Amino acid sequence: MARRRLGQHFLRDRSVARRIVDASGISVGDVVMEIGPGDGALTHLIVEEAHLVGGSVVLVELDEKYAQRMGDRYREYPDVRVVNADARDVDLEELPEFGGSNRYRVVANLPYYAGTPIVRSFLERERRPASMTVMLQREVARDMCAKAGKMSLLSLAVQIYAEPRSLFSVPPSAFRPPPKVHSTVIELVPRAEPLVDGKDVQDLFKLARSAFLGRRKQLHNSLSNGLQMTTGEVKEMTERAGIDSERRPATLGIEEWLSLLREWRGVRDLVGASSD
């Protein structure tokens, strides 16, 4: 029986499982990590596909009962490893499948309660996957893939590391027990390099959090409150960044956030230098 406290809604629609694995693009020599295989609706298709192209499979399952079940099922498969752990805590360097420069892909029907932190943990690693093909709650997937006009902090957190793309929707009837929400399968392809250097990430999110505290407010209001700047200073800063200060934070695109970050850092550095 699925355990609701772990967000377990097991996929029962075989056609959906087939579409997910087909979309994952498993190719020659790939290591495929499935997160939360549960009772294996996706797993047998992943194992079959990886075997055809000479790849290997790592199944990461938090629930000990299902990890044991997967271990028993694939005991005779030398290219399948089962890891009983939280995917966020798995150290890839400790697994022989990830030795050297082996490329890996993540394929998963992620539990709703942990979908966002799991995705972010893989995108923010030094060694990121070649792709992630994952099923998430529809609203979370929509946020991750949002374009300028509907962006949120989550949109920004994902898109500085990867290019997301919505693939297809999945109704509650595809699961047992049926969840109360719809799901969406998305593909995330990590960028060769994040759009923001590691040292700048904290600054970017301090800036963005300040703006989104007043999501429906104009930038000159929310940023002046969040960054302890006067409205006039914010207006000058946004003008230099080429952004109308009367816009709302959700309307900004990635490049506009980066431009605003550069201008804010310049203002902060100038203030710091003048106080020395």
For 87-102, write each residue's pLDDT tens digit: 999 999 999 999 877 8
The model's pTM is 0.92
The tokens for 89 are: 């805590």
For 35-62, write each residue's pLDDT tens digit: 999 999 999 999 999 999 999 999 999 9
| Phi, psi (deg, nearest 5) at residue 185 | -95, 130
Q: Which residue ranges make up each domain of the chain?
A: 4-190, 198-275
Assign domain 4-190 one CATH number from 3.40.50.300, 3.30.565.10, 3.30.70.3040, 3.40.50.150: 3.40.50.150
Note whether 219 and 248 are within 8 A (CB): yes
Query: Which uninterrupted H or E stretch holds 134?
Result: strand 131-137
Q: Check: CATH 3.40.50.300 for 198-275? A: no
For 209-230, write each residue's pLDDT tens digit: 999 987 678 999 999 988 989 9
Rounded to an integer, the average pLDDT of 137-149 is 97
In this prediction, residue 56 carries a pLDDT of: 96
In this prediction, residue 271 carries a pLDDT of: 56
